[in-house]
Structure 1
Amino acid sequence: MSDFKSTYDPGVQVSMADVLCLHRNENLLVGRDWAVDAARDLVEQAAISSYPDAACLPLRTAIAELHGVGAEQVFLGNGADEVLSNLFGVLHETYDCMHVLDVRFKVYDLLAERLGFRQEVLAGDAFETGHLDSSGFQGLAVVDSPNAITGRSVPTDELMQLASDTRSFVIWDNVYGEYGHDSIPTPLPANMAFVRSFSKFYGLAGLRLGYCIAGEKLISRMLAQKDVFNVNAMAQVMAMEALRRQDSFEALRDKLVDNRDQLVHGLEQQGFCVLPSSSVGVLATHPDHSGASIQAALLERKIAVRRFDDERIRDHIRVTVAPMEQIEHFLATLSDCLKAL
């Protein structure tokens, strides 16, 4: 039996095919057709009977061109989780404490326990204010902005201020960043890493592909310590195809942002308080009903939303942005739930 206390809860597990799944972390507007069609066309190119390119150089080069950096600054991994694990593994040689947001991506807790980091909460009460107090900060910080749970973004200048002391190191976990129109700082400080994923924006969560951009020296150490074949061949060719379709995904992003605004408006019309979001979902709470009761009532009506047990957000629900017809169905059903509670 494991002695680890930290675990990652993926949320309610839904087995019914007719449930509207608004509890997921992905972009629900991407759809499956593009990936299915692309996989069919690219399977021969992937040459899955052979080992994949261990260096992933063509894909690293394409990512570097997208962000205006050098390929030697790009590291690829089996999802952003592995990228973070490898980053923390290298940085643990220098730091023994991981500074995090008050409400954060729970994988950080798991990695801290696994790798032997202490954890401290960054000053500023980011959940309530959306801001950090970086004055006098020194150490290792990891900030998920947009936040993995709340969707809220920390201002870029505050993240940069965290890195102002060269003895510090800041990991900007930006896997939802496309939905907030974030871009990598230019120039990227030597003591900062910028993390992204192909899971959200490109709809390739099942292929498990993430990356980080950092200084060449750090990336070189990560490459030397990684598993040899840590990105499979199909993931590499599918990611290359996704990058070729960048304009199409940006158009989907813009549509999602419009739908998110409509979802927020609909929730507020029903009395919810909704946190500002730059992500694929919104976190909302109702003054008269618990998050658990709302979640249960919706699930009875075959709509799944996400809820968390953390004390500060246990009465919130998180709703993933969906196509408008699904949002309209959700809002109508939610209205019925509130009347019945």
Structure 2
Amino acid sequence: MKFYNALQMDPSILKGKIAACSTRQEKTYYWTAIAVRSALIVAFAIVFISVLSGVFGADNTPLAVALFCMMLGIRFVNFQYHIGDSLVTLAAVLAILVFVPSIAAVLPPVFLILLHFAAFFAVLFMTTQRPEMGNGGLYSFAYIYLTGNPVAGEALVRRGLLALVGYLICGAILFAKHRHQHKTTRFRQVVRESELSAPIFLWQLRMALGVSLVLTAGQAFGVQRFMWMGFACASLLSEYPYRGNAFPRFWQRIVGAVAGCCGFFIFYLVMPEALHPLMGPLGGLCLGFCTDYRYKTAMNCFGALMLATEIYGLTGAVMLRIVDTLLGVTFGLVFAAIFHQLVAIRFLPMPESE
């Protein structure tokens, strides 16, 4: 296998090849590919996000981060329908990501649940016809992250211009990589053939309703960094096919978050202050080696806590991350159980449960 081809593979696939290797040389080859892949992604992320933030303002860094993730994902996963329709829905998704968070920031709490549900369900429906490919997690991250970082006025204008740049980049990649696929499937056909009892529709409905409720609660009650609650809840609900028993992922999320927070706390104390800005990239670099959900959760804490520490201090940021995670996964666990029971009453047989 060419080294370039190895760089395109997911770490889980590369680790599978490592496990199948019979020689140390082969193992070293694939471990090197994992390391180089991770380093290149982090380096590209720093350059890409820094350039866009420099041009469109630091207050629009969250959209730059979301666009970077979308750009990586859209290379491999399309929307499962005609390229022309896909380009239209991509524009609609970006419009939602730009304007809905700003509207939600000024809307009375009583209207938030309807806004979040309609917007988030639309995003999932347009982008995630095959949840097992990971699009659901990608676009839910973007929606929640931007909801937690709204802008207004001139900054909103700059965010719109940044979204336009992002559309040109992601649209070009989508067209180049996927224009020959799903030529006979139109978006209107996807809408027409959707069934309430279909596993995909139920997954989209559960994700949209659960995340909308937790975001609404976080905003209405003024929870600090409420988007962390949203991330935790969405992570719990993003499994596909969904299960009535969400306890395994519930505990994995808690263990990963606590481990990541403790690791960040220790590293922050022992590392020289001049090296603190490197902790975010360090977490991203380590994330490139992770395939286990708990380890991914732990490494994701580093970048989030690095930013939050500047606002809340080290102890405050760590405690807030843990508390928000507990609130998010607890809400997700209860919501998943209730939703599963309602589905069991309405539709028989029930979706697979463990």
The structure with the largest strand share of the pair is 1
Higher relative contact order (CA 8 A, sep 6+): 1
The structure with the largest helix share of the pair is 2
TM-score (structure 1 length as normaliser): 0.26
TM-score (structure 2 length as normaliser): 0.25
